[in-house]
Structure 1
């Protein structure tokens, strides 16, 4: 059997257990790409790295395959907004770090710095901004062996739950091009869901990993504050850096790789959980949101089905009420969000730029809203989230 046939059969053998349920709405455009031999679109990052480790494929082959898919699909989806293909090609020729994702193509969200490349955070204000350093989480991910081939789309400064900034343009949902990909990590979710990449970087403050992962049918979760490299645990630092992936195991492996192990880390490292635990847990179940509202019937049924599955595994599942008032939570959350908008307006002024000429209406509204609040709104919000953290510590 020649090498090309061997690769194709290897991909087919593992693909079924690793991919999203069916092809997205761009299937007609992607069919030729997926059918090309070999194509790695249906493999998760772990499987791709295993092929590299065994010498069955080179990082350059993985990279070129991903670039072909991006060039075919991205014009309609607009998930990637900066191409770093030549830089990635140079890196692919090695040597590469001997990490868990050696030779796997990867993209980073446009809010992160990569030295010598453009970082706009989705805003016209930073249209010509070139990073002079690399974000800690990006450096750590590169050390995992990833080949960074570009940056993914996001709304202005990550302040919105949908990805359609004036500067970078709308990111389309690959399942239906007329639908939102969510936000703020919408470009990442769309790139992963469409098969451009198996995994890409993301960040989450108020849902910016979880919302687009849900919209695009891929996997994403927000790690605890202070747990990941580059993440603080101050009450005002609500954003946490991680990723969106098509397989749970990719997320788990990268989570373990990017955990903090420094002396100042507040939380002990969890490490990689690679097999079921014999421990049995007490799991709190609530189908209501923080405002006491129930989800739609299909969503509620799925939550309850998951709870029943946990019971069959031997866990104890109890009805629980979260220790939070939804209105109080949102009032203080908007204070933090408004402060961020105000900070961005101040940044524009410090750069000698008229805010209304470069910033989007939502950013300007957040700043205006913050300016209408009492002077103690921000200290009160920080105090509230510190107290909320203590409540949840007691709850669990």
Structure 2
């Protein structure tokens, strides 16, 4: 085990992204110095964490020297997840099957992300195509958790989460198709908000699907950074059909009706540490004046098969239409065993897909009916504490690994199929010192409710800091 972080006495200090941006704007140090500090920090921790997919430091240095940034995070060093097109960098998707061709242009979310003023230093790692919940590979070193490098950093936004948690950059891009912002946020002790579907620019391929599962966002160390990020995107592009969130700067006065879910959809019990953390948080909410009531799951076990059928379709699409989806040079022979196994699972049950899509839409209606009686649903982010590297080994027996994966991530996918916003907060820790995330869900467009509650909980239960261990 190795505990890794890069916090020090350079210009980044312990600032969040808002703090760094304000210091740059006040002339305390230039964007170029912030970039150099972040690059030095990356160089200090990345040999252990293996969280950088592509280094783009020379272009980042040139941008910092020109200092042409604008937006709420003007000049703040950051990273983009390597499944999102950033002109000049290969979009590797975490897979050896994808040709290393530089993207010709930014995709829509990249433009929004850069519009906040961030200076992208490179691309962060993800597992192949983001299809699993650990950033591990068959052809390279895993991305490790800075709290304890023997453990998984989560996925699929694992590289971003590892480097933000380690203090290399204040915040980084992440996206979420089944929990991929919230899972690594929980594993690495970060704030991870999956916004309402459509709140951020969609992923082009996913937006054309019958159900768009994927939503872009960030992982951060403070509620403030996530709130300011969302507000700045709203400044750039007001979203039709969704109530504006605005800039949320603190806790709300309204006391909330909180539905407490303690049973994973799989039927397996929570582990001791996770159950204790959830009970403790329910007690804290009650002490703060919120009304907490334990309720049954709003969706039934059929949801597991329905979501898996749709999720497996993604792997099948990569295997059999990879050239059309990803571009020339795609080499199907170099796909990893987990992607192949998931694709085969789809083939065995392809005939169920229409009924599974209908089932997912019905589950959305049932989930949203919960908000007639409750403002927020609370659960753990994950059904058990963060596993060690190898527990979800992509080269392992597919059926065994897949069963472990489903049990682990049983709380997060419903927000992707429904489009509802959800937030993981690092409000607890395990007996061995790893973070535990607590998960909050609200109805479509209700990010303000989640962020106001998050500010209140952050103040009542300050997040553990890796540099204090």
Is TM > 0.5 for Structure 1 vs Structure 2? yes
Tell whether the 8 Å contact from 1:81 to 1:168 is kept in structure 2 after alignment. Answer: no
**1:353: Cα distance to partner?**
5.9
Tell whether the 8 Å contact from 1:107 to 1:151 is kept in structure 2 after alignment. Answer: yes
State the match for 2:282 in structure 1. Answer: 307
**Matched residues, number:** 364
Tell whether the 8 Å contact from 2:238 to 2:244 is kept in structure 1 after alignment. Answer: no
**1:123: Cα distance to partner?**
1.0
Matches within 5 A, 1:182-331: 182-230=154-202, 232=207, 236-259=211-234, 265-326=240-301, 328-331=302-305
**1:349: Cα distance to partner?**
6.4
Structure number with greater CO (CA < 8 Å, separation at least 6) is 2
CA displacement 1:186-229 (0-9 Å, x = unmatched): 11111111111111011111121121112212221322222222
1:333 aligns with 2:307: yes
State the match for 2:33 in structure 1. Answer: 61
CA distance 1:132–1:225, change in 2 (3 Å): same
Tell whether the 8 Å contact from 2:11 to 2:29 is kept in structure 1 after alignment. Answer: no
Equivalent-residue separation in structure 2 for 1:64 and 1:250 (angstroms): 21
Tell whether the 8 Å contact from 1:123 to 1:167 is kept in structure 2 after alignment. Answer: no
What TM-score results when the alignment is normalised by the length of structure 2? 0.73
Matches within 5 A, 1:157-168: 157-167=129-139
**1:230: Cα distance to partner?**
2.1
Tell whether the 8 Å contact from 1:227 to 1:269 is kept in structure 2 after alignment. Answer: no
CA displacement 1:218-259 (0-9 Å, x = unmatched): 221322222222265976211111111111111111122234
Specify which of 81, 96, 104 is matched with residue 53 of structure 2: 81
Equivalent-residue separation in structure 1 for 2:70 and 2:238 (angstroms): 25
State the Cα RMSD in Å: 2.3
CA radius of gyration, larger in: 1
**Which consecutive residues of structure 2, in runs of 5 or more, have no partner in the other structure?**
372-469
CA displacement 1:245-284 (0-9 Å, x = unmatched): 1111111111222349868744322222112222222111
Tell whether the 8 Å contact from 1:41 to 1:197 is kept in structure 2 after alignment. Answer: no
Equivalent-residue separation in structure 1 for 2:202 and 2:235 (angstroms): 8
SS of 2:194's equivalent in the other structure is coil
State the match for 1:373 in structure 2. Answer: 349
SS of 2:66's equivalent in the other structure is coil
1:94 aligns with 2:66: yes
Equivalent-residue separation in structure 2 for 1:360 and 1:116 (angstroms): 26
CA displacement 1:58-102 (0-9 Å, x = unmatched): 101110000111112111111112111111111112343321101
Equivalent-residue separation in structure 2 for 1:370 and 1:59 (angstroms): 48
Equivalent-residue separation in structure 1 for 2:228 and 2:19 (angstroms): 12
What TM-score results when the alignment is normalised by the length of structure 1? 0.85
Equivalent-residue separation in structure 1 for 2:236 and 2:34 (angstroms): 31
Equivalent-residue separation in structure 2 for 1:118 and 1:230 (angstroms): 20
Equivalent-residue separation in structure 2 for 1:210 and 1:218 (angstroms): 9
Equivalent-residue separation in structure 2 for 1:249 and 1:67 (angstroms): 24
Tell whether the 8 Å contact from 1:153 to 1:187 is kept in structure 2 after alignment. Answer: yes
Specify which of 328, 334, 348 is matched with residue 358 of structure 1: 334
Equivalent-residue separation in structure 2 for 1:263 and 1:50 (angstroms): 24
Equivalent-residue separation in structure 1 for 2:289 and 2:149 (angstroms): 42
Equivalent-residue separation in structure 2 for 1:247 and 1:366 (angstroms): 35
Tell whether the 8 Å contact from 1:97 to 1:145 is kept in structure 2 after alignment. Answer: yes
SS of 1:55's equivalent in the other structure is coil
